[in-house]
Amino acid sequence: MGTMVDVRQHAVSGLVPPQTAEQLIREIWPSVTGTSPGAARLGEMLMRSIILAPLGWFLLLPFYFLKVLPVVGKRYALTNRRLMVQRGVTRKASHEIALADIDEVRIVPGSQNGFFRSATLEVVSKGQVALKLDGVPEPETFRRAIVNA
């Protein structure tokens, strides 16, 4: 990402101007609905039944580890300069968009999942969807963080 800045030198603790350095605002891991929607639906169905809930847990266990493994896992990172989809151990940005280029951030209708508390976000730039974030946990909170950044 860049060099870290000593935030103790700034008037408001934790706030770094984008001209000074890039600072991480928020980082999240996509929900299992973003990595494997079919398995997520089946796991949800099994977990809603009391007797088959452990089977649902074991079904989703490999997808959880695929989500967080450093080699194949991905995460969404919001900095004071850009929004990124990061992959791998080095956290290299596979997709990114500058905050100045973002016109709108919206939750895709019908993508909301109340069980996993996740949804898909679309980042609109110049009238087109520039970035699609699947399976964002607590989507409204992350959407507001992007808009406020």
pLDDT in tens, 41-68: 888 889 898 899 898 889 888 888 777 7
pLDDT in the model for residue 11: 47
Cβ 64 vs Cβ 108: under 8 Å? no
Q: Say whether pLDDT at 85 is over 60.
A: yes
In three-state secondary structure terms, 37 is: helix
- The model carries a pTM of 0.77
Average pLDDT, integer, range 24-52: 86
Strand-pair partners of 83: 78, 97
- Stated as kind and residue range, the H or E segment containing 129 is strand 128-137
96, 30, 101: which is closest to 66 by C-alpha?
Answer: 30
CA distance 68 to 96: 20
Report the distance separating Cα 129 and Cα 117, nearest Å: 23
Residues 14-25 pLDDT 10s: 566 666 777 888
Q: What is the bridge-based pairing of β-strands 128-137 and 118-125?
A: antiparallel
Which domains does the chain possess? Answer: 18-148 (2.30.29)
